[in-house]
Structures are given as C-alpha cells and as structure tokens.
Structure 1
C-alpha cells in the first residue's frame, strides 16, 4: 500500500460521528443538519429534463475532453461572468466530475514529488487540498486565515524560501468556511508571485455564485489575470462547479479553466485516469451553464435565510454575515467541540467544529472556538435551528 495513505487524517464528518458516539439527541425534536454543505434547494427542472432527454447517449463512450458544446458553454459563461475576452473553449476549458475529483487529480498531475515539494493552502481549508498534497508526494503548508486579517490567508507569513519551493498554491475564494472574498489586487499579487517563482495557482471558486450584492459579484483569478493583460492565464487555473451554483451536487459536474499548456498535460493525465463525464451529464450541464435566472433566484433564497438567522442570533452569539457563500463562522462561548456536543444532545442540531477544518500552524489552530454552520436547509428549519441555539445559549 502507498505509505502516504498513513498520513491522511480522518475526514471531518467521521470526526463528528466520533464526537457524538456517546450522545443521545432528544427524541421530541427533529434533527436539523447544519454540518454539511449540501444544497437543499430544488434542482432546476429544465436541467433534469435535459438529463432525461439525453439518456440515449449512454450507448456512447464519452470524451475525456468533453463535447465541444459543453466547453463552449462554459467558456461563454466565464467570459460573461468574469469579463474575459477570447477564452478558448477548445484549449482553455476542461470538464471535471465535480471539483472535488478535479482538485485532487490536479495535484497528482502537476506536483513533482520530493522532500522539497510544497503545496500551500489556506487554513482552515477544504480537506481535499491536504490529501491531494500528501498523496502527490508534497508537504502541505497551511496559511492561517484569522479574524484580524479579515479571514483571508496571511500571505505575508510565507517566507521567500517557501514561495521558491512552492509547486502548487490552492486558493478558495469565497472561502470555505469563512466566506471571505480575496480582493482582485491580492489575486494580482499572487499571479505575479506565481510567475516569479514558477508555481501553479489552483483557485477553488465553487462558492463564487452565492453572494449578497447583485451589483458586486466576487472577482475570480482569471479576471485578475485579464485585468493585468495576461490573457494566456499563465500558471493559473480556476475550478467551478454546478453543485452550489445550481443545486446539482449529485450531477458531479464542474470544470477547470485557464492556462492551456497546463490543461493539455492535465488532459493527458485524465485520459489515463479514466474520468470522462457521462454524456447525459454533459448535456444537462450545458443547460445549466447557459441559464442565469435560476442562479439569481437561488441567491435570493440564501439572502433571506441569512437575514432571518442573523437577526435571531443577534446579541446571543458572536456571528456576522459572511462576504459570500452559505456558511456562518461564529465564535463559540465554550470550546467548539463542547458547543457542538451540547447542540446535538440538547437541541438535536449538528454543526461542524472549526478545529476539524483546520490544522495547527504557527502555534494556533484558526478553527478553535468556532463552528461552521451551513444554511442549506429550508428557511423555517434554519430559523428554528437559530431559535433552539438561542435557548441553549441561555442555559450556557
């Protein structure tokens, strides 16, 4: 067996299961799950219709590169959304089976294993970044995202030697779990660093379409490149998904886009990896990327939930609205694991301890005394969860 498998830590939800193993929640209260970021809003009907109408394509082997219609649909969406010009769907776009699969595979393709290889990522982080780095034969380096830095990674803490050894930098904007948006000026500075030290930036932008101000969508890495005149997006790729944007996590449909030279080699890897998206999923994805009305409606539902929940928790819990995304990242009045256990055992609510989403770096775990709350349930459930939380806080 690959010895690097022994370096992998339990996934956060397995840790949560162990945390609750001796607890019995109240039977008179229905369970409300705020622990997992699985969208619960209805999937668009027209996407399901496109899926059903293309089941006859199951008799064909799909292309790893994806059908031209899908790549052109994605390129068109990127150009409209991020004000890009001339993005080439043929060479600068590649479909993936959800960004989780794509992010992990990408590290295996671009990292040269060795004792000096570093993969940098935010802290807290999506655990795939760590596992991908370890199994690619690199050492993960975690960059703390603290409140005093607006929950953005403290890139000033990275040494010149670490930048020089860096082969891959994972970004996540809007952040999971903090919701912080990386400003375009900082993205531009990171592009310059990537070109100076010759590392690749993989920007996970899966939450980019859940924001609160319709006139100010979060900027993206390719947008930062374009404003610098870097239309070849050298050393830069972005990952997007239909899971959060379109409430289609089960479709397992996303894409990677950017540097054509990097994507050509990644396509070679994927050809051997055997991960072509099913043809009916590709057809349904075209329908989703071509429509924006359902995404605007989706944002409206989240906006309503955030307003109601934060109003209920106001003055009771140290929490504020994020810049984007569908998570709250509140401070807890007691250790985060104790808070999660009390919520489960007394109110039948699950939240995820923040320390499970982070690692100790520079002497601290930035998830300590915080929990992640995913406002993915229906409005009335989210409000009820907040009310139950207030009752618990009164007892604490």
Structure 2
C-alpha cells in the first residue's frame, strides 16, 4: 500500500526553508484541535475510574456509554436508536479507516466516493480497500454542496459525506440530505455522513441536521444503507478520550461488530466512563460554542468574513495558497494549511484553511496580524 503524505507533513516540508520573523510568537492555525482544557468534571471521572484499568475493555463498550450516546442522539436529533443500531468506537478516525475495508472486502471492483477536499483518512481507507475513487468535488460554484450524477452513483458501493464540512464549513439542509438517502436506496450503496462537527454551531434555531433525521424524513425509518459517525473530540474539547460512534443500519452494524472484535480497538474502561458523563452533559458544550461564536464575530469584524453555520474553520480564498502560506509564515509567523494539501485533482487550490480554536484574545491578535499581511 502506498499512502499519500499527510497534510501537516507536507506543510512542514513547504516551510522547511522559510525563516519566520522573530517579531511575533508562532501562531499555528492549522490543526482542528480545540485549545481549551477538557472540563474538570470529565477529568475527575477519568481519574476516579483509573482502578478499572485492570479490566479488559469489551469491544461493544460498556452499557452506560452506549446509553449515553443513544440519549445524545435522541435529545439532539429527536431520533430513537435501538441498541443494535449504534456501536461505540475509538473516536471516528479508526472507524472511518476500517469500516470501508470491512464493507468493501467482498466487492470485486469496489468503488468509493467521498467529498473533495477531504479529511485524508477517507483516501487512506480507499487505498487500503483497493477501491476506485470518485471525488465529489466541492467548489464555490456548487456552494460546496455534494452532488454526483446518477451514472456515477450507479457505480458506487460506498459514499462518504462530511457535513458540516471540513474544511469548507459548508452544510447541507435536511431536504438536500433526503435526496442522498433516496439515491442510496435507489442505487443500493452505503451512505455515511461524518458528523463530527455537528455540535459546533452558533444558532440554536438553525442547528445542523443528521443524516439519520433525513433518513426518517425520506421514509427510511430502519436506516437501510444509512450510517452516521460522530465524536466527542470537538464537542467536549476532549480529543484524547477517543470516544465516537457509528449508528444506523442494524443489519450492517451486526456484521461490522463481529469484525471489530478482531480489530482490537476497544476503548479502555476509564476513558469510556469519562466519555459517558461527557456525552450526557450539554452545558459544557454550550460554553465552548460561545467561544467559537465569539471567534467568528472577531473574524467578521477584522476580515469581513460571514460566520458559517457550523465548524470552527475559515476557508479563505487566496490567489496562490502555497505562496500565501510561505509568506504569511515568513512575515507574520502564522501557520495556515494550504487547501491543495486537503484535496485532489486541483480542486482545493486557491484556498487556505484557518482553524479558530484559540481563546478570544489570541484569536483577535492573530487575525489582526493576518489582516495586516493581506493589506500589505
């Protein structure tokens, strides 16, 4: 297997011969990792559960964790899941990588489609699955909304969407997702939505919807061919807990659960205990949302950028993203991620991704630096 170099390694290589100014401290706006302390009540539960390290964790997860995840889906999306319709996972990265290998194993000439630009684990999964790839190109012209022709969809065995979207911050309405559900049923392919940014939203009257909601609206109440993935990493500022889930079609998940017993990716019990109380609590999530909302208000004030519906990314259009990245680092000691490192076939050229994951003061200072650079 030959995997593409990861975006952050490409960035290091790009900047290896560039000497940054010493006038400013380094500000890295590259990685989607919240720069806030994990709430104390979550840390305390982890510490208090440490004696459970003596136990092997079950692949299916502890019942309390699964219940907490089901409660989250019920309260957030008004979708009631049965136990067999959800599986706790070790974050979403591992399941995004190994689920396609499971799902496509018996396909003679598997075809996998996913949004482009993308989270690179999708591409890695396609390579590991020996799948032909169809890129779902997200462009300014289509408002970064996912579309494929019926001819392309007929060939697909597995499609991965990602809404709210990384890196473009675009989102899709329930009616737009309903169309995708109907196509998954019509052409009999597995449809996944990676929903790990669903909880970083800024308007309680305009929350991102789940593909599960769209499936029900489409009349597909058993979620045939439909799966979603979500994670606690962004929601609770706890990426180290590695707590996620896959939910939807119970027929698919029954066989996938057998597969997972061999993978050996069960989360340690203390992490599951801490994740349980995090999934059950909403107050701490709201406090993080307020921080991200304020950051986008600052971005609008300084850069004139309209806040997205969700995520903490700015998808900034520039003339030459590689030159922009090098010069910004050189003159202002700011790191951003070139869009071309996140896409293929030239689709993400002319953009940089900026992650607003710091506190208000740091965000204001670095965005002023960025504005000064743009105006030079």
TM-score (norm 2): 0.97
Cα distance, 1:114 vs structure 2: 5.7
Q: CA deviation at 1:321?
A: 2.2
Query: What residue is the counterpart of 1:61 in the other structure?
Result: 56
Query: Structure 2 CA distance, aligned partners of 1:191 and 1:390?
Result: 42
Structure 2 distance, partners of 1:331, 1:69, is 45
Structure 1 residue 350 and structure 2 residue 338: aligned? no
Number of the residue aligned with 1:391: 372
The 3 A distance-change label for structure 1 pair 115 and 27 is farther
SS at match of 2:168: coil
Q: RMSD between aligned alpha carbons?
A: 1.3
- Give the match for residue 312 of structure 1: 302
| Cα distance, 1:100 vs structure 2 | 0.7
The 8 Å contact of residues 202 and 239 in structure 1, kept in 2 or not, is answered as yes
Describe the SS at the equivalent of 2:192.
strand
| Residue in structure 2 matching 1:133, options 126, 129, 132 | 126
1:74, distance to aligned residue in structure 2 (A): 0.6
Indicate if the aligned counterparts of 1:62 and 1:278 stay in contact, CA closer than 8 A. Answer: yes
Which runs of no fewer than 5 residues in structure 2 stay unpaired?
none
- Match in the other structure for 1:98: 91
For 2:325 and 2:356, the matched residues in 1 are separated by 16
Q: What residue in structure 1 maps to residue 169 of structure 2?
A: 179
The residue correspondences of 1:1-396 to structure 2 (distance < 5 A) are 5-6=1-2, 8-85=3-80, 87-88=81-82, 90-112=83-105, 116-155=109-148, 158-160=149-151, 162-314=152-304, 319-332=305-318, 334-360=319-345, 365-395=346-376
How big is the shift at 1:394? Answer: 2.2
Q: How many residues align?
A: 376
Moved over 3 A (4+): 112-116
Q: CA deviation at 1:251?
A: 1.0
Q: State whether residues 113 and 138 of structure 1, in contact with CA within 8 Å, keep that contact through their aligned partners in structure 2.
A: no
- State the distance in 2 between where 1:383 and 1:141 align: 40
Paired with 1:382 and 1:265, the residues of 2 have a C-alpha distance of 46
Q: Distance in 2 between matches of 1:159 and 1:345?
A: 47
Residues 40 and 377 of structure 1 are in contact (CA less than 8 Å); yes or no, is this contact kept in structure 2? yes
CA offsets per residue over residues 207-250 of structure 1, 9 Å max, x none? 00011101221011011112233221111111110100000011
CA shift for structure 1 position 115: 6.4
- Cα pair 1:115 1:138 within 8 Å, conserved: no
